[in-house]
Amino acid sequence: MNQILFGVIATLGVLAALGTVLARNLVHAALFLVAFFFLVACQFVMLEAEFLAAVQVLVYIGAVAIILMFGIMLTRNIQGDDTTTVSKAGFISGGLAAAGLLAVLVFGILDDEGRTGRAGWRDVTTRPAVYPVAARASAEQTKAVNNMGFVVGRELLTRYLIPFEVAGVLLTAALVGAIALAVQDGPSTDDPAERAKKAAEHTAAAETEPQLTSA
């Protein structure tokens, strides 16, 4: 049952990823990407990390995909022109590189011998049982799987306090950086008269644009 479910989710996930990469229309690609994020969240549920699945949906689908949508809307080249089409030679060489990497990775995964005293990856067919507290699992691990939000919050403020603070600084820097990049050069438009002038220029430009395209 679990295996069938995994097969369905994995197949859909690979198809969604392929759709993201190969779709000509960027909006379609972004929608495929949302589907892929959701299927990755499903995989987290299969791995009993429900808290991470919630974080995945909130951060990736709620924030990252929307930012990407805004980026697509603010740049014009959505469909059909040079920037979205893929040249045949580039596709073949890129596909060869990707297929080669996939072969190496799959060979490495299936051929793993494991460190001394440990089973290789291919021999790990069952996850360690945690509920009820099993022989090898500690009470801590059981709690980490069954009540992950609690344990993550506690660990973030004790063992992972420094990385947590550094991540906060990084997010602040990214916020300031994104604003600094997006700021338009040119004179300030705080003056109402100047703003009205700019708006008039803008409408004038918009009126002349149809003539330009029809000519």
Residues 113-172 that bind another protein (CB under 8 A): 121-122, 124-128, 136-138, 140-141, 143-145, 148, 151-152, 155-156, 159-160, 163, 167, 170-171
Interface mask (CB under 8 A) for another protein, residues 49-78, using x and -?
x-xx--xx--xx--xx--xx-xxx-xx-x-
- 31 binds another protein per the rule CB under 8 A: no
Regarding 2 and contact with another protein (CB under 8 A), the answer is yes
Contacting range for another protein; rule: CB under 8 A; set: 43-51, 187-195, 204-212: 43-51
- 194-213: contacts with another protein (CB under 8 A): none
Q: Does 177 bind another protein (CB under 8 A)?
A: yes
Which among 97-105, 188-196, 197-205, 206-214 is the span making contact with another protein, rule CB under 8 A? 97-105
- Report the residue number, 175 or 204, with the smaller CB distance to another protein: 175
Count of residues interacting with another protein (CB under 8 A): 92
Closest CB 194 distance from another protein, rounded Å: 21
The 3-state secondary structure of the chain, one letter per residue: CHHHHHHHHHHHHHHHHHHHHHCCCHHHHHHHHHHHHHHHHHHHHHCCCHHHHHHHHHHHHHHHHHHHHHHHHHCCCCCCCCCCCCCHHHHHHHHHHHHHHHHHHHHHHHCCCCCCCCCCHHHCCCCCCCCCCCCCCCHHHHHHHHCHHHHHHHHHCCCCHHHHHHHHHHHHHHHHHHHHHHCCCCCCCCCHHHHHHHHHHHHHHHHHHHHHHHC
